[in-house]
Structures are given as structure tokens and as C-alpha cells.
Structure 1
Amino acid sequence: MSLCKDCITGVRHEGTPTGTIAQIGGFDCYVATPTGDYARDKVLLYFPDALGMQSPNAHLLADAFATNGYKTVIVDYFEGEPVPHERVFAPGGAQGFDLLAWLGRHPAPRALEIIRAVIAALKVDGVTKFASTGYCYGGRTGFDLGFTNELAVVTTAHPSLLKCPEDLEKYAAMSRAPLLINSCEVDQQFPVEAQKKADEILGGGKFAPGYERTYWEGCHHGYAVRGDMSDPKAKAGMEGTFEGTVKFLKRYF
């Protein structure tokens, strides 16, 4: 399994992040905290794409989740070595970047180890329930923690690195966490065939905890966090995915 060119292309979004960088469990995290009252026993874990915890787009999304009442923590599971967002946001994306070598330095088991250290530290502070929102690489991570029921709810947009149908069948068999998959028309990582297989395995009430899938026509892999907001379809996809994710979280988390 590998990533694709759409994993390292995109557009930087406008806005000024309002969260903070903090050490949790010995690892850097971006923390977005609601300004009003919120459930302090819950945390939304944001599992980023290849741009990592440092991505300005991820910061803005985390801030938006906080505005909707969820303390949101982006975990730096790339340990300070994301794909440089300056290159990704350049015309043509991060051309020439060695994705395979980079991915080899950041395997899923290490990412999970870091996330679990963060979860353990948050539990010491009184957090008892965790949900996830994962993008690209982070979608795979959400599935892994969903298999083991370390998350109460799993949401993802254009997940990468999934085995189809194996991981979908495993989720159906092992997880108790409601699952939302936001999908799109052009996605080498989670193509239409995999999307239909997800519905076949989990949809129609087959997955009792809860399953939904959205589909955004005219959108490409990465649209939910790096889409071109001057493109009406990409804008509708990103905004609709965010709104749908918040609605799903409010229903199940």
C-alpha cells in the first residue's frame, strides 16, 4: 500500500488559527479548546493527512470543531517530519517528494503508539471518551483504533491505506464505534468500488452501532482539508463534509 499524488497537492485556506501547541504524553499536539461550556470528559482526536499536525488547514478545521463544542487535539504522529506544507501548497504540489521513503519512516504502528500515549495522558486529566476525525493517512489510523474499540466514534474523509474489503469486514466484525465515511468521485485511495463495498458490508442497517457514507461529486482525494475553495464543488464538498461530521458527532458522541 502507498499514497498517491493527490495526497501531496492542495490549496492553503485563509484564516488565522486560534489554538495552541502543547505537549501531551510527551508529544507535540495542536489543541483547539471551545470558548464556552463543553463536555470536559470528551476529546475529538484529529488524525491529520501527510501534512501533519503542522498544517495550517488542519489547524483551521480543528478550531472549527472546537467552535462546535468539541475540544480537539491534533496528534503529531509524524514526530516533526510531515510532508512540508509549503511544497504541497506550491503549484503542482510536492513534485519529486519521495512518498514511499517518507511513509517507511512513519509506519502505522509508531503512529498508534504515539496516539495511545496521548490518550493515556488525556485520561489522567479526566477524559473518558474519544472520537476521531481522520483525513487520508489519518483515516487508516481511525480504523485501526476502531478495530480495538479505543474510540467511541470514528469519522473519516477520503481515507488512505485501507485494504478493501478486508478492513471493512474487520470493522464490521470487531468494532462497536459508529462509523462515518466521507467519500468523493475521484479517489485512488478509496475509489468508487471500495465505497460501494463499504455500503454493501456496513450499510442498510447491517452495522448496528451506526454507519453513514457521504459522496461528493466533482471532488478529488484531499478535498475535505485541501480543496480549492474557488471551485464550487470542492467548496460544497468540504463544507458539507464538515457539517455532516459535526452532525454525526452530535448524534453519537
Structure 2
Amino acid sequence: MAMCEHCITGVSHEGTPEGTFTRIGGIDCYVAAPPGEHDTTKILLFLPDALGVLSPNSQLLADSFARSGYRTVMVDYFAGDPVPSELAFTGRHEGFSLDAWHARQPTDLVLARTRAAAVVTAAHPTFLKAPEDLERYRALAEAPLLLNTCEVDPPFPPEAQKVADEILGGGKYAPGYERTYWPGCTHGFAVRGDLSNPDVKAGMEGAFKATLGFLKKYFV
């Protein structure tokens, strides 16, 4: 499935990131630590969107998870070659080609730079094939899965979202499956949405709350 325009466009959010950069296993990472005492035996692995670890929006979101009690590590799985934030937030970046970038960063290579987590949550996923990938996940995976989905999502449209429910819902996926749906929201809403839009604001805040609830339910 192809990327859509919403994969690399959005609104820059206000705030000052509070995390720090370090190298873990040879990979650059943005690390956001909870204030005060916290469970140091668990790490929340934050896989950013196409803008990578340098995106201020993703850094602020990682900080929010940290303030909720989870030591959060955002991985630079694009190895210093993300889609430029300037392109996403201003539409200007001379000489950048999305097709050429994706050719340099194929999905298999990107995911090979990370390891599987014990609990998986995703917002408006891209390159998720329905039903093939969903059936493979049901057959091979062991991690509970939460999908935060929306109304306008070319890479993972409502019809594909329903297929996910048919394959994984109703107890068909024993480790656990949940899906949220946010009307009035567009692909990218959970990270780069326009918070002046009430529907988008409700979607972003709701997806974050649902993710925290899912983590508290399964990430124990």
C-alpha cells in the first residue's frame, strides 16, 4: 500500500521537548524519563512516524508518555534520514523526493533496526495489508494489539479497519485486540493533527488515553 499526502503533512505542536538523545545498541534514540521514582524494568518503545526522532511533535508525545509513568525510548530507525519536518509543516524542502526516500528506507530495513515489543499499539498505520498482514499477525504474533484508527485514512481505510476487526476481534486473537475509531480525523491525527479542530483534538487526546489504558491493561 502506498503512502498518502497525510503521511508527511500536518501541524507543528507547541511545547519544548524535555527528553535527551543517547545511543542504544548502536542506534540513536530520544529518551524521555518519568519524573521521580518509576518502574525501571519496563521500557515503552516509541516508533515514530516518517518524520523520525527529530520531529518535535513526536518528541512531545514521547514526553507525555513519560509523564504518565513510562520510560519512553524513541528509535531513530531511519538512521538519520527521516522525511524533513520542514516539508511536513511548511511544505517546503527543495530537492526532496518521497519516492526516493522510501526506496532508501524500505519497511523491512526499517523494522530490522528494532526489536519486537511485548505490547503493540499503532495509530493510523501505513503499509499494513488487509487481510494478509492481519492474518499473519494472528497466526504468528503474541503481543496484544491496539489500533487507533480514523475516518479519512487512505493507507488504512475504514473497510480495512473492519477487516482487522473480523480477523482479530471477538476473541479470535487470544493475546488481546482493541480498536478505536475517531470520526472527523485524518491519517496522522494522533501525531500531527490540527488541534484547533475539535474533532482532531478529541481524536488525538482520545487515542493517547486509549493507548495509556491499553498499556495499563497489558503492559504490567
Larger displacement relative to structure 2 (58-67 or 103-112): 103-112
- Which structure 1 residue ranges, 4+ long, deviate > 4 Å from structure 2? 92-97
Larger displacement relative to structure 2 (72-81 or 182-191): 72-81
Take 1:95 and 1:196, find their aligned partners in 2: how far apart are those partners?
A: 39
Match of 1:219 among 185, 190, 196: 185
Take 1:94 and 1:83, find their aligned partners in 2: how far apart are those partners?
A: 10
Take 1:174 and 1:74, find their aligned partners in 2: how far apart are those partners?
A: 25
- Aligned residue for 1:188, secondary structure, equals coil
Counterparts of 1:81-92 in structure 2, within 5 Å, are 81-90=81-90
Q: CA deviation at 1:240?
A: 0.3
Match of 2:145 among 173, 179, 196: 179
Q: Which residue is 2:130 aligned to?
A: 164
TM-score of the aligned structures, taking structure 1 as reference length:
0.83
- Aligned residue for 1:10, secondary structure, equals coil
Take 2:168 and 2:205, find their aligned partners in 1: how far apart are those partners?
A: 25
Could you tell me whether the CA contact under 8 Å between 2:152 and 2:184 is conserved in 1?
yes
Could you tell me whether the CA contact under 8 Å between 1:88 and 1:94 is conserved in 2?
no
Q: Which residue is 1:153 aligned to?
A: 119
Counterparts of 1:95-110 in structure 2, within 5 Å, are 97-110=96-109
Take 1:19 and 1:68, find their aligned partners in 2: how far apart are those partners?
A: 14
TM-score of the aligned structures, taking structure 2 as reference length:
0.95
Could you tell me whether the CA contact under 8 Å between 2:45 and 2:117 is conserved in 1?
no
Equivalent residue letter for 2:29? C
Q: Which residue is 1:136 aligned to?
A: none
Equivalent residue letter for 1:210? G
1:151-196 per-residue CA deviation (whole Å, 9 max, x = no partner) reads 2110000000011100000111111111000000000010011000
Q: Which residue is 1:196 aligned to?
A: 162
Equivalent residue letter for 1:110? L
Could you tell me whether the CA contact under 8 Å between 1:33 and 1:71 is conserved in 2?
yes
- Aligned residue for 1:88, secondary structure, equals helix
Structure 1 spans left out of the alignment, 5+ residues: 117-149
| Aligned length in residues | 219
- Aligned residue for 1:45, secondary structure, equals strand
- Aligned residue for 2:53, secondary structure, equals coil
Take 2:145 and 2:94, find their aligned partners in 1: how far apart are those partners?
A: 34
Q: Which residue is 1:245 aligned to?
A: 211
Equivalent residue letter for 1:112? L
CA RMSD of aligned residues (A): 1.5
Q: CA deviation at 1:242?
A: 0.4
Take 1:77 and 1:170, find their aligned partners in 2: how far apart are those partners?
A: 23
- Aligned residue for 2:54, secondary structure, equals coil
Work out the percentage of aligned pairs sharing the same amino acid: 63
Take 2:187 and 2:170, find their aligned partners in 1: how far apart are those partners?
A: 25
Q: Which residue is 1:27 aligned to?
A: 27
Q: Which residue is 1:6 aligned to?
A: 6
Take 1:68 and 1:82, find their aligned partners in 2: how far apart are those partners?
A: 27
